[in-house]
């Protein structure tokens, strides 16, 4: 059976390797079908597609869209989109502008907490002038000695209630699903186990996603426990959604799951790739 990895990042967002290097690494790890899903960005897809063609693996054009639902940030992975679609491309460009403004506010919030120079520090980690993310701040804060590991920086500084966190309004969930469909793609709710919602909140989130036209749940993800694979597989079956899997790989030494090192989808779900 083909090995799928449908969620990863390159230097066109907050990953550490260029798209061609991500593709080469995926190929070396035995991936047959790879989706490059840079945050709010499509610009790495041309290079990835060319590299995949040369390497003999299948590249699915993707992106990971930042959205807001009931005040919390929800990521929607787009799979199989047309990178030339103007509706999607223009909408993502607007989200990236919002990211730049947010970066200034994050730096101000950190300065108010006694950490100076975070904007310039984060910029030294940015690898595409088009996109800045909290990951770039996190890498700088580790370098500056404010935490030992990336996950500690997020826990101490960059998440709701912490000194470097600023509220931000992303796209509306339903709007993002619409752009993905306009570009011919499928919308997958990314790593749902990460969202800070209770059981009824999760059911509401997933059913609103389904009602908005959402296609699939990312069931297998390094953000999930084995028990959660089963829980999200059940949600997918009950809601009539398909199931996806992705390593959410960002770079050597920075990700808990290697490219392609994904367990099989639980039995009984319909894979997101069934009609590919």
In angstroms, what is the minimal distance from the CB of 138 to ligand AMP?
Answer: 6
Note whether 139 binds ligand AMP by CB under 6 A. Answer: no
Given a contact cutoff of 8 angstroms between Cβ atoms, the answer to whether 23 and 261 are in contact is: no
SS3 115: coil
Nearest residue (CB) to ligand AMP, 26 versus 132: 132
Q: Which of 10, 66, 67, 247 binds ligand AMP (CB under 6 A)?
A: 66
Nearest residue (CB) to ligand AMP, 17 versus 233: 17
Composition of the chain by helix, strand, coil, percent to 5: 40, 15, 40
Distance CA 9, CA 120 (A): 23
Residues 244-273, one symbol each (x = binds ligand AMP by CB under 6 A, - = not), give ------x-----------------------
Distance CA 251, CA 123 (A): 18
151 binds, among ligand AMP, Mn ion, none (CB under 5 to 8 A by kind): ligand AMP
Nearest residue to ligand AMP by CB is 133
In angstroms, what is the minimal distance from the CB of 248 to Mn ion?
Answer: 4
Phi, psi (rounded to 5 degrees) for 172: -75, 145
Distance CA 77, CA 243 (A): 12
Q: Which residues, in sequence order, are CB contacts of 151 under 8 Å at separation 6+?
A: none
- Counting Cα atoms < 13 Å in the Cβ hemisphere of 261 gives 9
Note whether 154 binds ligand AMP by CB under 6 A. Answer: yes
Nearest residue (CB) to ligand AMP, 66 versus 186: 66
**Segment contacting ligand AMP by CB under 6 A, of 19-27, 130-138, 197-205, 211-219:** 130-138
Which stretches of the chain bind ligand AMP, using CB under 6 A? Answer: 14, 39, 66, 133-135, 150-151, 154, 250
């Amino acid at each position: 059976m083909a090995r799928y990895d449908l969620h990863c990042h390159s230097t066109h967002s907050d990953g550490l390797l260029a798209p061609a290097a991500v593709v080469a690494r995926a190929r070396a790890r035995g991936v047959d079908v790879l989706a490059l899903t840079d945050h709010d960005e499509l610009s790495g897809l041309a290079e990835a597609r060319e590299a995949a063609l040369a390497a003999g693996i299948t590249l699915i054009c993707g992106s990971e869209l930042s959205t807001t639902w009931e005040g919390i940030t929800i990521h929607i992975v787009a799979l199989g989109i047309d990178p030339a679609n103007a509706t999607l491309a223009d909408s993502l460009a607007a989200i990236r502008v919002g990211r730049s403004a947010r970066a200034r506010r994050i730096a101000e919030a950190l300065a108010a907490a006694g950490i100076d120079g975070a904007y310039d520090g984060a910029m030294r980690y940015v690898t595409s002038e088009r996109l800045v993310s909290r990951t770039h701040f996190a890498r700088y804060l580790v370098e500056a000695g404010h935490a030992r590991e990336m996950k500690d920086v997020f826990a101490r500084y960059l998440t709701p209630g912490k000194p470097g966190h600023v509220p931000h309004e992303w796209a509306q969930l339903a709007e993002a699903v619409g752009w993905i469909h306009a570009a011919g793609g499928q919308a997958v709710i990314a790593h749902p186990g990460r969202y800070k919602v209770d059981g009824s909140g999760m059911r509401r989130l997933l059913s609103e996603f389904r009602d908005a036209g959402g296609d699939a749940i990312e069931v297998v993800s390094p953000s999930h426990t084995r028990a959660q694979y089963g829980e999200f597989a059940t949600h997918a079956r009950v809601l009539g959604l398909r199931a996806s899997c992705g390593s959410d790989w960002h770079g050597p030494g920075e990700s808990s799951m290697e490219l392609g090192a994904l367990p099989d989808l639980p039995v009984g779900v319909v894979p997101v790739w069934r009609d590919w």
